Amino acid sequence: MKKGNDRTARVILPILTGLLLIAIWYSIKSIWSLHDFILPAPHDVLFAFGEEAPTLLRATVVTFLGAAIGFSTAVVIGFGISLALVSIRWLRYGIYPYIIVLQMMPIIATAAIVVILFDVGLQSVALIAFLIGFFPIVASTLQGLLSVPEGQRELFQLYKASPLQELVLLRVPNSLPYFFTGVKIAATLAVIGSVTGEIFAGSSDGTGGLGFMIMIYKSELKIAAIYAATLICCVLGFGFVSLVLTFRHLCLHKWHESAMDASE
């Protein structure tokens, strides 16, 4: 009974919060008599979805492509690099400090450099989405691969396990919760990276994504359409994170507490 109540609350409370936020939005606009150029009303944003539907749909596909290519590449390469770094100590000593330093680079500055090097278009957008997701995945996965409990390492030593067996049967499973933490951060950042990339690298030949369209709408003073595009970005990001959480739940829920609550 308690569980049922909890499930209902998890559905109803976000809806109520959403309605409250819309009410606050209307109130702010009304109390301060804000012009549509400054703050469009929620229903204006809704209309913008309808008016700009074909453009927004095409832009969404482009942004999704940039984010998906960058994100999936970051997952595969990030995991592979982590395995290499944990297996070859001198490689870790030589490269890891740079991975930490590169993680500190502001994405806006990185995006500008990427566009200069690789020109505008999907390749640069995907690369920026890749760069923003790659570092958290490597940092988290490497931590998981290295932080194996001493007792379990001793157990593998006792059974005379080879380094490959220790990697595959001990370090990799131990790193999975950490890996998914990194992937979840990367998923959150994938759309941000893609949109940031499009602002710098989205082309005007009909292939611009949501970031590019936000710039166009700004120049055309279509403020409600900017809000609509921003909301689509949020939904896209939510989709990526949900996908990761689903995978995490499938892989870990039987043994790791981080993935036991499916409702997250």
Contact call for residue 161 and another protein (CB under 8 A): yes
Return the number of other C-beta atoms located less than 10 Å from residue 255's C-beta.
11
| Strand runs labelled E in the chain | none
| CB contact at 8 A, 222 and 170 | no
Query: Is residue 170 a contact point for another protein (CB under 8 A)?
Result: yes
For the CB of residue 205, give the shortest distance to another protein in the complex, in Å: 49
Here's the x/- map for another protein, 116-155, by CB under 8 A: it reads as -----------------------------------xx-xx
| Member of 73, 156, 216, 247 binding another protein (CB under 8 A) | 156
d(CA 57, CA 229): 10
* 151 or 206: CB nearest another protein: 151
**173 in contact with another protein (CB under 8 A):** yes
- Verify binding: residue 2, another protein, rule CB under 8 A: no
Asked if 255 is part of the footprint of another protein (rule: CB under 8 A), the reply reads yes
Binding residue for another protein, selected from 5, 160, 205, 219, defined by CB under 8 A: 160
Characterize 110-146 residue by residue with b for buried, 16 or more Cβ atoms within 10 angstroms of its Cβ, and e for exposed: bbeebbeeeebbbebbbbbbbbbbbbbbbbbbbbbbe
Residue 169 is a binding residue for another protein (CB under 8 A)? yes
- Convert 204-241 into a string of H (helix), E (strand) and C (coil): CCCCCCHHHHHHHHHHCCCHHHHHHHHHHHHHHHHHHH
- Angle in degrees, 0-180, between the axes of helices 210-219 and 172-201, rounded to the nearest 10: 30
Please choose, out of 14-22, 223-231, 237-245, 252-260, the segment that lies near another protein by the rule CB under 8 A. Answer: 252-260
By beta-carbon proximity to another protein, the closer residue of 118 and 156 is 156
201's enclosing H/E stretch is helix 172-201
Find the radius of gyration of the CA atoms of the chain: 22
Where residue 160 falls (left for φ over 0; alpha for ψ -120 to 50; beta otherwise) is: left
Would you count residue 3 as binding another protein (CB under 8 A)? no
Query: Which C-beta is closer to another protein: that of 14 or that of 163?
Result: 163
In the bound state with another protein, the residue whose beta carbon lies nearer, of 205 and 261, is 261
Give the binding site for another protein (CB under 8 A): 151-152, 154-161, 165, 169-170, 173-174, 176, 254-257
